[in-house]
Amino acid sequence: MEIQSSRVRAVKSSPSMAVSILAKQMLAKGEPVINLSLGEPDFNVPAHVIEAAHQAMLAGNNHYTAPNGLEELRQAVVNKFERENGLKYGLDEICVGNGAKQLLFNAFLATLEPGDEVITPAPYWVSYTDMAMLNGGVPKVIPCGAEYGFKLDPERLEAAITPRTRWLMLNSPNNPCGAIYTREEFAALGAVLERHPHVLVISDEIYEHIVLGDKPFVSFVVACPQLRERTLLINGVSKAYAMTGYRLGYAAGSKELIVAMNKTQSQTTTCPSVISQLAAAAALNGPQDFVRAANREYQARGALVVRGLAEIDGLSLQMPDGAFYAFPNVAAFIGKRTPDGQVISNDADLSSYLLRVGKVATVPGSAFGLEPYVRLSFATSQQELEQALGQLREAFAALV
């Protein structure tokens, strides 16, 4: 008897999480694996945020909240958007969820009809397409390789839009490649979208505060204010404040969309943890020294990784603009053989080999909709990164 629904059979578990679990299993067996597969900061949560969570529990904040979250947190989000982005939102235009990931799922659940299309530039974060399919949508993937700067251009967006297009999915800074859209690039996409009023926009801005070079982050709504009512901004505290385990994301959008998303949340998880909500409010309202210090460290780590990968003949890589990933092209290694004679047929084979022989966990580009690449996270210490780079050099050199 088939247990899984057709929708569940059509999707896969998160590839990055699967690789991370395998790496942890190998570590538990005593194998010296360095895990560069998961996008999880290695820093501890800022002390004042931990203290806020502690005091919240001591004060008896241990119960449900409304599905749209505490007003205290939503006000902190409103203040954040005005302070950092110059955007004005009302409390009823903000919702919070169990991580940015749930908010994306809620948005699709609340809006997609069977067959609705979600335009998704590749490379994309691994869950975008599967979440769309789980909610009856049809991902319309547009490959945007290095020749496009890993970004969608207006001409290809125009060609992709049909009467069934429901959403355009954007992510800047991008996971996995680190590309950042400029204000002008967003504005050019916005000009296309103005001609197609049935298309909504999700702008995933979770890596907003991780900027590695001179190209500044700009929010989509800042670049395209005329599309404010058609845009859902997705953000959260996981990456900026190293609060991945707190599972707290926030979003801003039209009142109608926020009401619909809150409705879906009320019938699924009810609300995020109240402790996490109060901790997130402390993170957003409190001092931002941690965010700036962490970004400086990511800049140093990114430069280290790019220099190290440049020493490996055959790898092609440009410095990412933001986020904490390197996404080198590995085409030169496809077709080569491992020391035991196995052929590297694709980037998934290569990623498997790097874990098995090099003892470094990476994620293949195919998981992000673009081959042949591998993604390496540098959200770990410079010491570990130096060690990983040495092991990668040896592993690549052993391919013939």
Q: List the single range of 15-19, 84-88, 290-294, 343-347 with lowest mean pLDDT.
A: 15-19
Q: What is the mean pLDDT of the chain?
A: 96
pLDDT single digits (tens) 141-198: 999 999 999 999 999 999 999 999 999 999 999 999 999 999 999 999 999 999 999 9
Assess whether pLDDT exceeds 90 at residue 6: no
Q: Please, which pLDDT band fits residue 52 given cuts at 50, 70 and 90?
A: very high
What are the CA-CA distances from residue 34 to residues 359, 363, 388 (Å)?
Answer: 6, 13, 6
DSSP 81: I
Q: Please, which pLDDT band fits residue 15 given cuts at 50, 70 and 90?
A: low
Q: Name the nearest CA neighbour of 246 among 258, 235, 237, 255.
A: 237
Classify the C-alpha dihedral 380-383-389-395 as positive or negative. negative
**How far is the C-alpha of 289 from the C-alpha of 249, rounded, in Å?**
21
CA atoms within 13 A on the CB side of 8: 4
Q: What are phi and psi of 169, to 5 degrees?
A: -100, 115
**How far is the C-alpha of 101 from the C-alpha of 124, rounded, in Å?**
14
What is the pLDDT at residue 126? 94
CATH number of 63-285: 3.40.640.10
What is the pLDDT at residue 107? 98
Same fold, 6-44+290-397 and 63-285: no
**How far is the C-alpha of 160 from the C-alpha of 177, rounded, in Å?**
22
pLDDT single digits (tens) 223-260: 999 999 999 999 999 999 999 999 999 999 999 999 99
Residue pair 68/74 in contact by the 8 Å Cβ criterion: yes
Assess whether pLDDT exceeds 90 at residue 12: no
Q: Please, which pLDDT band fits residue 31 given cuts at 50, 70 and 90?
A: confident
**How far is the C-alpha of 324 from the C-alpha of 299, rounded, in Å?**
8
Strands (E), the chain: 34-35, 94-97, 117-122, 138-143, 165-171, 200-204, 231-236, 249-252, 325-326, 360-361, 363-364, 374-377
The tokens of 393 are what? 């050099």
Determine the average pLDDT of the residues in 51-69: 96
Determine the average pLDDT of the residues in 45-63: 97
Residue pair 169/120 in contact by the 8 Å Cβ criterion: yes
Q: Please, which pLDDT band fits residue 23 given cuts at 50, 70 and 90?
A: confident
Secondary structure tally for the chain: helices H, strands E? 14, 12
pLDDT single digits (tens) 308-364: 999 999 998 989 999 999 999 999 999 999 999 999 999 999 999 999 999 999 999
Q: Please, which pLDDT band fits residue 381 given cuts at 50, 70 and 90?
A: very high
Which residues, in sequence order, are CB contacts of 91 under 8 Å at separation 6+? 71, 74, 75, 78
What is the pLDDT at residue 217? 98
What is the pLDDT at residue 318? 82
Q: Please, which pLDDT band fits residue 27 given cuts at 50, 70 and 90?
A: confident
Q: CA dihedral in degrees (292, 234, 12, 158; nearest 10)?
A: -110
**How far is the C-alpha of 269 from the C-alpha of 136, rounded, in Å?**
20
- Would you kindly state where each structural domain of the chain is located, as residue ranges? 6-44+290-397, 63-285
Q: Please, which pLDDT band fits residue 16 given cuts at 50, 70 and 90?
A: low
What residues does 60 pair with on adjacent strands? none
Which residues, in sequence order, are CB contacts of 375 under 8 Å at separation 6+? 16, 37, 176, 325, 326, 327, 362, 363, 364, 365, 367, 368
Domain 6-44+290-397 = CATH 3.90.550.10: no
pLDDT single digits (tens) 267-300: 999 999 999 999 999 999 999 999 999 999 999 9
